[in-house]
Structure formats: C-alpha cells, structure tokens
Amino acid sequence: MKTNSFLRAVAVAVMICAAGLSLYAQENNNRDENGKVVRGPYETNRLFDNVWIGVAGGINLFENSFTDAGGINPALDINIGKWVTPSVGLRIGYQGLTASSWTSAQYPYFKRMGDDGRYKNAFNTAYVHGDVLWNISNAFSGYKETRTWNFVPFLTAGLARSFKNGFANNEFAAGVGLLNNIRVSNRVDLTLEVRQLIVKQGYDSSPVGGVAGMTSATFGVSFKLGRTGFKRSHTDEYAGRIATLQTLNDALENEKADVENDKAELAAENAALREAVETLQAKPAKVEKVMLDVTPGAVFFEIGQTELSPQELFHLDFYLKNVIAQDADKVFTLTGYADRQTGSKKRNQELSKLRVEYVYNLLQTKYGVSADRLVIKAAGSEVDRWGDPLLNRCVVIE
C-alpha cells in the first residue's frame, strides 16, 4: 500500500503536458502578415463577459507523506471562473468527495483493519478554493479564441475540511495544478485537470505533525456564459495616428502662415503696380507718343490680362480707322509680348499668344479685316522691346 505517489502525480502531469504541448505545437499560431505573434493590448471586458461554469469528475489520492498514500477515491469538481485578460483568469470552486489513508493506529476516521495490520481511514473531504490561472497558450502564442487546446497552469489556495463519524478537521491548503481546455464549440470546452495540494499532516484525523498531500485528476466539461472572446484594443494605434495627424496639422499651420505672409506681400506689390498703372493711364499722351515713335501701332494690356481695357479698345479703333482702313492692300503683322519682370517664361509665352489671338479675332469679327491681311506672332517675354514692363505687355501692329 506504500507507493511513491508524488512521482506518480508528476508522471501524470508530464503526460498531460506532453499531450498539450503536442497539440499546441500543431496549432496555427496567431501571427500577423510578417509572421510575428500577435499579442495585446485588448479591451477591458465587462464583469460578466468570459465567465464559465465547470463540472468534472475523477479521482482523489491522499498522501499522508510523499511515500505513504491511501487508496484511490472518487472526486467531484465544481467551479466558476472568469478570464480577466486572454492570459489571466480567476476561479473559485469546490473540489472533493471522499478520501482514505492508512495509519498504524486507530483514529476517528477508522474504517477497517488491513491485512498488514494497519488501519484504513475513510472520510469525506471538501476543498473550497480560489485559483489564479495563467493561459500559457495565449501568453506565448497570442490570443486565439478558436484554438483547440489551451494549456493553463494555476496556483490554488483555500480551506480543506475532512469529516466523518462526528469528527471534523479544517486546514489551510495550497497547491499547484494544470488545466487543459479542449475546445468543442464557442460555448463548450472539455477539461482535463490535475492538481497537487499541500495540507497539514493529520488531515485524515491522525495526530502526526508534518506535511501531507492530496493529488486529484478530473475530466469534465465547462460552459461559457455571457459574451465570449476579447477584442484587440487599437488605442495605441489610434494614439500614434493622432500624433502623426497632429504633426501634419502643425506643418500645415506653418505653411498656412507662410502663405498668408506671401499673400500680404503680393497684395502690397499688386497695389503698388495698380497705382503705377493708374498713374501711366492718366498720362495717355506720353504712352501714345512712345507708341507712335517706336512702331506704327500698339495696344497695351494690364498685368496678367488677355483682354483690352475700354481705353485700349479706343486706341485700337482709332488705329483701324486711321491706318488699317486707309491701306486696303497692306498685310499687317500682329506680335504679342509680355513683360519678363513678372511670371515664368512659359506663362509669358502663353500670355503673349492669348493677347495676339484676342486682337486678331477682334480685327476680323468686329472690324471685318480679312484673315489674309493678318499675320500673328507670339514673342513671349524674350524680347524686351520697350525696356519698360508696362509697355511690354502689348500687341504691336506693323
């Protein structure tokens, strides 16, 4: 009746661990597209989320010492637990039913005498406990709700009570265990559990002091209540995105300030140019004199414009009636210009083209000048014909 029950319990635990690790190794681990294990953080679940109730049956083996074990007796395990995180859970429960031991003297739990002259004790046992569970599968391989096998070691502590024949003994007990959860469905798991408790020697009513143990192995089922599973928290990701967007926003604010400054400077320059244009327009005789001295005819545009002002339309009308209309056989060349002090070369080329086409169309549509009497050119700003930006924004007719 003596056996090394401690080694026996260790052997059972090793076999269960090996089976769990075998399935665990075959599990399609929770990894991202780069092959890295996906872990937390996860959103905090509500009070009744990820709660389960478990019922299991199996065997108890009481060890009055690590070399002196009693018989194998039936065990019942009832518990309720909650996963606080994918890796950490809490559980309370009842474990026990009956147990037995052998002693050299007759004690209150005495049942009968054995063939070797020793006394067999039989008693009821109840262990009310609280456990802290650690899901190694989720901790090392990342949370995965559909994983087939979860490997969960735990620490346990609570009150152990033995009672029979009007006698009772209450002792503090603590120990370790291994819970294997085998997924059947989203709500149901099979459980395979082994537990090793340490209690005060004498738990079986013998007065011997020291340390005793209780090994149990159970197989059962657990039922999940409420909402199951954990959702990954994106708080850190969102915080990173917010920080990036804030940085971009700050950069845009700085760019906006620079644009506002440039806008103010351009407005000041535009006001100065407008004032200069108005001053020159107030002295048309001087402009006309320069025009007549340099070329037979010219009309002038405001900065960036491709249409003539009423004043310049008047000049064009005057030139048509007094020059073009007087020589019905002459072919006139229209050349568009732009000033090189403002705008890019490409933009100035486009302006000179639009200006000369505008005058060309006016001469045909408004004044009926035949197209075969007109030749058009766009000189852009390559030629500084007048040496004055205000005068270079023109179409010359010659």
Which residues belong to CATH 3.30.1330.60 in the chain?
Answer: 284-397
Highest mean pLDDT among 10-14, 42-46, 263-267: 263-267
- pLDDT-based confidence at residue 232 (cuts at 50, 70, 90): confident
Question: What's the pLDDT score for residue 114?
Answer: 79
Torsion sign, CA atoms 378, 383, 387, 389 = positive
Q: CA quadruple 119, 124, 128, 132: dihedral positive or negative?
A: positive
Q: Report the pLDDT averaged over residues 217-229.
A: 94
Q: Under 8 Å CB-to-CB from 370, ≥6 apart: which residues?
A: 364
Give the whole-angstrom CA distance, residue 237 versus residue 148: 30
| Assigned CATH for 5-233 | 2.40.160.20
Question: Radius of gyration over alpha carbons of the chain, in Å?
Answer: 50
Peptide bond into 41 cis (omega under 30): yes
pLDDT exceeds cutoff 90 at 237? no
- The string of pLDDT tens digits covering residues 366-390 is 888 888 888 899 888 777 888 888 8
Read off the tokens for 188: 């149901």
Q: How do residues 271-315 score in pLDDT, each as one tens digit?
A: 888 888 888 888 755 444 333 333 468 899 998 888 989 999 998
Tens-place pLDDT, residues 320-364 = 888 888 877 888 999 999 888 888 888 888 998 999 999 999 999
Cβ atoms 17, 151 nearer than 8 A: yes
Where in the sequence of the chain do the CATH 2.40.160.20 domains occur? Answer: 5-233
User: What CATH class is the domain 284-397?
Assistant: alpha beta
Sign of the alpha-carbon dihedral angle for 102, 106, 110, 114? positive
For every residue of 77-123, DSSP letters joined together read: EEEEEEESSSSEEEEEEEEEEEEEEEESS--TTEEEE-TTS-EEEEE
Q: What is the pLDDT of residue 283?
A: 72
Q: Please give the mean pLDDT across all residues of the chain.
A: 84
Q: pTM value?
A: 0.54
Report percent pLDDT > 70 for the chain.
85
